[in-house]
Structure 1
Amino acid sequence: MNNMCVAHRGFSGKAPENTLAAVRMAIALPFVRWMEIDVQLTKDGVPVVIHDYSLDRTTNGHGKVKNMDYEHMRRLDAGSWKGRAFRGERVPSLEEVLSLASGRLRLNIELKTSGDMYPGLEKAVIDLVNTMGMREDVVLTSFDAGALQRIKELDPRFRTGLIYDSRSGDPAKKLNELGCSFLSISSDRLSPVLAKSLAERGVKIMAWTVNKGKEMRRVSAMHSDIMICTNRPDIWGDIFLQA
């Protein structure tokens, strides 16, 4: 089996998602070569790694990420909700995650934006990745077509990916229109026919979020090139390292 393991928001099944603790736990598993993270901008323009537009679910703070200064966010607890052992975990900056992952993990960086929610997000991420010398180790993905187009305008050397969760439409056509070579798709939207067609065109596919062994086997049976994005890379290891 060649289906690569992608740690979803780090090892988020065991550690608080999108924290340095989750990143370290993913790195500790030698078979994890990829990780998916989510990036937004603080009010003062710092790219931070957090999934929700609101702080409420994964921190002890309240309100929208876009309305918070970075220093304010740094004081929040982003770990206690997952367990006492993670009390004091912070919302990390993208720079911190890149520094930790450099040379260890490749990254699928999802730009969490819609429309003009985060002016300058694409440039901030591109500049940081280029400064860290990690352009070849990342793919920048988004649901937002505008964000993907802006990435190509700012630096066409970056690999881009469309995140797709629609029950209808033609993802292959959309990928072509946007110049994307990567598709991030819900596992229940993926079919063997689509997987084969895209793989033959050189498009890399990542299926999310696949947490049960039975589902991992189902997805892997479609095509050996499909990347399996999971909160539970340990389950992936139990299945594929014994196959």
Structure 2
Amino acid sequence: MTLIFGHRGAAGTFPENTMLSFDAAIQAGAHGIELDVQMTNDGVIVVIHDETVDRTTNGKGFIKDLDYKEITMLDASDSFPQFSGKARIPTLEEVLAWAVTNPSILVNIELKNGIIEYPELEEKTIELISEYKLEDRVILSSFNHYSLVKCKSISNNIKTAILYMEGLYKPWEYAQSIGAQGLHPYFHAAKSPIVYEAQSCGIDVRPFTVNDPLVMKQMFSDSVAAIITDFPERAIELYNDKKE
């Protein structure tokens, strides 16, 4: 079975990385959500993709330079004006508390520390995951593979997955070398032979961001472990059609 993860929730139709978007993904039938974390200047882990608030909110500035109180005052409805005043940047703790009330869903947390190295981002993230007893329902991913190795040194109970954009040589061997259980390639890098070889070696492949119906069908045909998509409802419908 190929699982469906809502990319930043249901980012194709709702403000990304907001509770509105996460709720929409689950209501659409997604098996999990993918989200991104940064850290405020007073050490609060917040859910937002960019290092700045400029693109997705009505504010300006780097997350690292803003405190949590300032973050809470921002409108995160970005390009969805119909949700103006109804969307804000959540904390990771808020999302994990929500996940506890949705016991069947998985949560892919992407650590956004490739550009800004947030002190103790790994420790604080894992501490929250453990506090909510979600170790078996969380996947930690990052383009910063040093960060994934650090996560493994902190806790070996949480799955990790390597994010990458272009072709890696024998990526399943690389994943194994750093203790990762998954590969999260950009979908162009998820060629069928690589998918087959990786998954035969016990490494789950979950390509992103799979929005095109034809690409979705190919991924389903390849039996990838999951796809990460902005349109979970579309993906669920196509997958169900495939089974009929």
Give the unaligned 5+ runs of structure 2: none
Distance between the aligned counterparts of 2:83 and 2:60, measured in 1? 22
Question: 1:4 aligned to 2:11?
Answer: no
Distance in 2, matches of 1:74 and 1:163, equals 29
Q: What whole-Å deviation, never above 9, does each CA across 1:107-131 have from its counterpart, x for those lacking one? A: 1100000276101100010000100
Aligned residues: 240
Paired residues of 1:59 and 1:81 also in contact (CA < 8 A): no
- What amino acid maps onto 1:180 in structure 2? A
3-state secondary structure, aligned to 2:51: coil
Displacement of 1:168: 4.7
Distance change >3 Å, CA 39–CA 116, structure 1 → 2: closer
Counterpart residue type for residue 65 of structure 1: I
Aligned equivalents of 2:63 and 2:116: distance in 1? 15
| 1:108 partner amino acid | N
Q: 1:63 to 1:146 in 2, by over 3 A?
A: same
Could you tell me how far apart the structure 1 residues matched to 2:141 and 2:239 are?
26
| Structure 2 residue aligned with 1:107 | 107
Q: Tell me whether 1:72 sits opposite 2:66 in the alignment.
A: no
Q: Name the counterpart of 2:59.
A: 61
Deviations 1:127-154 (A, max 9, x none): 0010001010001111101111111111
Distance 2:152 2:97 in 1: 24
| Correspondences of 1:115-130 after superposition (within 5 Å) | 117-130=117-130
- 1:163-217 per-residue CA deviation (whole Å, 9 max, x = no partner) reads 0112354422321221101111111111111111111111111111111211101
Counterpart residue number, 2:40: 42
Task: Provide the residue aligned with 2:195 in structure 1.
Answer: 195
Residue in structure 1 matched with residue 161 of structure 2 by the alignment: 161
Q: How big is each residue's C-alpha offset from its partner over 1:37-88, in whole Å with a ceiling of 9 and x where there is no partner?
A: 0011111111110001111000111111111111110100001532223433
- What is the CA–CA distance in structure 1 between the aligned matches of 2:71 and 2:115, rounded to whole Å? 23
Once the two structures are superposed, residues 89-117 of structure 1 have per-residue CA deviations (whole angstroms, 9 ceiling, x without a partner) of 11000011111122142111000002761
- Hey, what does 2:241 align to over in structure 1? 242
Q: Is 225-234 or 133-142 further displaced after alignment?
A: 225-234
- Kindly indicate whether the alpha-carbon contact (under 8 Å) linking 1:80 and 1:88 is maintained by their aligned counterparts in 2: no
Structure 1 distance, partners of 2:196, 2:60, is 44
Q: Partner residue of 1:20?
A: 19
In 2, distance between residues paired with 1:80 and 1:49? 14
Mapped contact 1:36–1:108 kept (Cα < 8 A): yes
User: Quick one: percent identity of the two aligned structures?
Assistant: 31
Match of 1:186 in 2: 186
